Every structure is written in structure tokens, then in C-alpha cells.
Amino acid sequence: MAKSPEGAFRADGASQHQWREGTATGPGTMPTTWTAQQVLALAPDEKSAKAGQGLAAPRHWVSLGCDDAAAWGECQGSGSRPYQTQIELGEPAFKCTCPSRKFPCKHALGLLLLVAGKSSAITQHEPPEWVAQWLSERVKRAEKKEQRREEQAERVPDEAARARRAADREAKVAAGLAELDRWLCDLVRTGLGAAQSKPYSFWEGMAARMVDAQAPGVGRQIQDLAGVVASGEGWQERLLARLARLYLLAQSYERLSRLPDEVQADVRSLIGWTQSQEEVLAQAGVRDEWVVLGSRMEDEPRVRVRRTWLWGRESGRAALLLDFAAGGQPLEPGPPPGMLLEAELVFFAGAYPLRALIKSRHADLRPAGTMPGYPSVAAALEAYGGALARVPWLERFPLALAAARPMQRDGKWFLADDQGDALAVAPSGADGWRLLAVSGGQAVAVFGEWDGTALAPLSVWQQGREDNPAWQV
């Protein structure tokens, strides 16, 4: 039988901060009083949320209990024995004996909803044996983990083994990229016209080989190519541009030692090396008031990613926070767009550093009020050109326009500045009308991700509104 899932809200060591307005830093300080909305935000998907709501009725539960630290209950499912569900409220951490792989499962959601609603059916206040045992086990495990971490920090690293592993990987990657190089040349030699009829396995197979060669970043890019081929008119141009960029990457790796350090860092991270978060956090950071411009969540096959974009008021530079959640786990809450984050950020190495980690926070979140941005489209594009010159593979550029008007031309939407220059808005249906509705024909501040051709808006800010951003995706 599958092991019952259990987990806690600790994605990585750095993100122990809480993003409630007005609460300061501190590990594990989740809200002491829950609202239904907060509970539902934990659900891994819509279906679970609904199922959880369905179970939030006392008639499903054989027993219910709650004290300061934990909540527990026995839910009558379709089986003969009721499922035992328990929640440690502080983290929160969930455990349930049901076979579901979802996390938190619908029983946990239902139980927490009942707690949130202060249901009168919660009669027990002393944790029974099976709850007390789990809680004490957790405490023991946390202590052990802390102990192991300390030990590991003290342990002298086995340099020889590490060097061997690193050399192995370099060799594998080199071989993989050499194969990529041949594959790219083959494609161009025989012609892209044939690419449209290639089966999905053609791309998927090559992607898998890259993953095997320990170059997962390259694998992901090749996976995307299948989508480009099917993207409609102009796919050949787009495919060629992407293939050429991959070629550039492969060539760069060949000449890696001859490249400047920052570019080496970019090449490595694109291929799939990860920089150690401990090392990044050890650096000196940039302390500033960071405006949270916007964020976007995306669901990839096995992982959920959230990109949160920041802009430093003093430093005038952008930063990107990445949060991941694997396998149906919920994402930790992040700083909401519209807020001002006073913090010290440390940046990952690169020629145009964007990705950052929060090293320390210095104040509670407070509303930012206004959004900083480029004064004109021309200025924005110039900045983009500069970024591209440093990182040719840049996929998403944070583009903030301080004053733009949404408008339509030939059925396509644009954002125009007062000089008359315009940027295309990524065609995603209603977005254009929504932008127009929010702007009311006035100039508004717009932030989005620019991919070189179109802008995908993530937030719109309006002068004088207290609840900025006026709209976010």
C-alpha cells in the first residue's frame, strides 16, 4: 500500500518568511485564525478544493478534535475503516491515511475548513494516541534534521569525490552537446520543411537524451520546440531562431573557458547546472525598497512555478523570485503584487542578473502605491536591447511602462505611449479589452513579460488608486 503522504511547508531553507501584511519575519508563523479562503488557497487544484468543501460537513466525520497546536478527525470514506486525518496547525503540516496522492488531500482540506468555520461538531480537545504520537515524531524528526544539518556543515567535504563527480558531469554534458550539435546540423541540412511532419517522439526523444546527459535545461528547450512547430503561421522563422539559439549555446559551451565569468554562469545555468543557494546567500546583497510588480504562476508537467518580479526603487534594477512546488504540493505564499518589500536580495551570478533570493527582510510589507517604469516604449526597448546583448538567450524581460494607453489596430492590441510608439500585447483573448476597461482611456502603468515580440501583461496600475495594482493576471 502506498505510503501515506505527509509534508510541511518548507520548500527551501530561505523561504521561511511569511507574507501576511503587517507580520514580521519568522519561521512557521502561519495565521492562528484561518479563513475559508486561506484554506482553499492551499488546495493543489480546483477539484480538490471542491472535494474538500464537500467534506466540510460534520456528517462525514466520525470524530473531530482540535487544540492549540493540531486538529484531527476520522472521516468515513468508502472503505470499512474511517481515514485518520491530522493537521499540525503551526506549519501547517498534514497527514492522512487515505490513498490519495494529492497534497493536502480533500480530507485535510475538509477538516481545516471545519476548524476555520469553528464548527460546533469539533468536540474533542485532547489529542488521541495516534495524533500525539505523530506530533512527537515530528518534533523528534525536526530535531534530528537540525542536528544532521549542523553535522553536515561541520563535516569536511570530500574534495576528491566532489571533483570526480563534477568532471563526470562535464564529460557527459560535453558529449550530449556534441550530439546536439550534430542533430541541429542534420535538421538544417535536410531542411526544416520536413520538421512539421516529424512525430512528437522526435523532439521528446532528443529532449530525453539531453536529460540523460545531465543537461536538463537544454532538454526543456528542445521539448518546447514541438510546440513551436505547431504554432501556426511563421513557425519556420520561429523554429530557425530557436534552433540557432541552441546552436549558439552549444558553441558557447565548447568555448566556455574563453568566455567572461558572468557569461559562463549564464551558459551553465541554461544548460542545467544549479547554483547552490547557500553560496548565493553567503554573498553580500543589495538592500533596497523593492516594488513587487507582478507575478505569474505556471503549471509544468511535474512542477508548479511562480515568477515574482521586483523592482528596486533606489537601485533601479529588476529582480526575479522563483518559487517551485513539486508533485501537487501547494506553493508557499509569496509577496503580493502592489506591495513594497524592504529587503536585502542576493543575486545569482550572470551577465544580466535577474534571479535573486531574499537574504533578509527589514520591515513589514506595505503598499507601494505607484509603479516605477520606463518613461517610453523606446527607452524600454533600448533597455531590452542592452539586456539581450548580455544574455542572448533571455526569454522573458521584465518590462514596465510608466504610462501607456491600450488600443486596438486591425484586431490586435497594443500599448502606446504618448510619443505614438506601441508595443504589441500578447494575443490572449480578453486581455486587451480588460486592459482597456481598467484604463478607461487614460494612461496607466503596465508591467509585463516581454519576449521580444509581444508583451504579456501581469499587472496594471492606476494613479490615485489605493488598491494598486488595479488589475493583475
Partner 1 sequence: MALWQELVTTAILGSERQAAPLPITEGALGELLARLDASAPERAVLGAAAAVALYQTAGQRPRTGRAPAPEPCPLDEAPRCSAATGRHLGMMVNGERRDVLPEWLGALAAAGMRAREEHLPDLLDLGRTQADLREMILPVLGQRGHWLAAQNPDWGWVGGALDEGVWETGDRAARRWLLQALRRDDVDRGRELLASTWAEEASEDRAPLLRAFQSGLSMADEEFLEAALDDSRKEVREVAAELLARLPGSRLCRRMAERLDRLLSYTEGARKGVLAAALGRRGGLEVTLPEECDKALQRDGITRRPPTGWGEKAWWLAQMISALPPSTWPDAWQATPEDLIAAAGRNEWKAALLTGWTRATLLHADTRWAQALVVARLDRTTDADPTGLILLVPLEQREALVCQALENGGEQELGLALLQECRHPWGAALTRAALAGLQRHSSKMEWAWREAIRRLVLYMSPALIGEAEDVLAAVAAKSEGWGRATDDCTMLLRFRHDMLEEMAP
The DSSP secondary structure of 26-85, one letter per residue, reads -TT---SS--HHHHHHT-SSHHHHHHHHHT-SGGGEEEEEE-SSEEEEEE--SSSSPEEE
- Which three-class secondary structure state does DSSP give residue 277? helix
Phi-psi region of 10 (alpha: psi -120 to 50; beta: other; left: phi over 0): beta
Rounded to the nearest whole angstrom, what is the least distance from the CB of residue 186 to partner 1 in the complex?
8
Q: Give the residue carrying C-alpha cell 476555520.
A: 116
Rounded to the nearest whole angstrom, what is the least distance from the CB of residue 188 to partner 1 in the complex?
4
Asked if 405 touches partner 1 (CB under 8 A), the answer is yes
By C-beta, is 236 or 269 nearer to partner 1? 236
Q: Which of 409, 427, 428, 463 binds partner 1 (CB under 8 A)?
A: 409
Residue 377 main-chain phi, psi, to 5 deg:
-60, -40
Asked if 414 touches partner 1 (CB under 8 A), the answer is yes
Q: Name residues whose C-beta falls within 8 Å of residue 18's C-beta, 6 or more positions apart in sequence.
A: 25, 26, 29, 30, 333
Asked if 174 touches partner 1 (CB under 8 A), the answer is no
Q: Which of 85-102 are b and which e, b meaning 16 or more Cβ less than 10 Å from the residue's Cβ? A: bbbbbbebbbbbbbebeb
Strands 286-299 and 339-347, bridge-based pairing: antiparallel
Q: Which of 64, 122, 358, 438 binds partner 1 (CB under 8 A)?
A: 438
By C-beta, is 356 or 443 nearer to partner 1? 443
Q: Which of residues 313-332 bind partner 1 (CB under 8 A)?
A: none
Q: Which of 218, 377, 399, 458 binds partner 1 (CB under 8 A)?
A: 377
The C-alpha atoms of residue 55 and residue 114 are separated, in whole angstroms, by 9
Rounded to the nearest whole angstrom, what is the least distance from the CB of residue 66 to partner 1 in the complex?
20
Asked if 142 touches partner 1 (CB under 8 A), the answer is no
CA 411 remoteness from chain centre: 32
Q: Which of 184, 259, 297, 426 binds partner 1 (CB under 8 A)?
A: 184
Rounded to the nearest whole angstrom, what is the least distance from the CB of residue 364 to partner 1 in the complex?
21
Asked if 57 touches partner 1 (CB under 8 A), the answer is yes
Rounded to the nearest whole angstrom, what is the least distance from the CB of residue 149 to partner 1 in the complex?
41
Asked if 123 touches partner 1 (CB under 8 A), the answer is no
Asked if 77 touches partner 1 (CB under 8 A), the answer is no
By C-beta, is 122 or 422 nearer to partner 1? 422
Q: Which of 63, 76, 236, 315 binds partner 1 (CB under 8 A)?
A: 236
- Which three-class secondary structure state does DSSP give residue 423? strand
3-state helix vs strand vs coil in the chain, percent to 5: 40, 25, 35
| Count of residues touching partner 1 (by CB under 8 A) | 57
Q: Name residues whose C-beta falls within 8 Å of residue 337's C-beta, 6 or more positions apart in sequence.
A: 292, 293, 294, 295, 308, 458, 459, 469, 472
By C-beta, is 283 or 442 nearer to partner 1? 442
The alpha-helical segments, DSSP class H, found in 230-365 are 235-254, 261-271, 277-282
Asked if 464 touches partner 1 (CB under 8 A), the answer is no
Asked if 422 touches partner 1 (CB under 8 A), the answer is yes
Asked if 119 touches partner 1 (CB under 8 A), the answer is no
Q: Using CB under 8 A, list all residues that contact partner 1.
A: 53-54, 57-59, 184-186, 188-194, 236-237, 240-241, 243-245, 247-248, 251, 377-378, 381, 384-385, 388-389, 392, 405, 407, 409, 414, 416, 420-424, 430, 433-434, 436-438, 440-442, 452-453, 467, 470-471
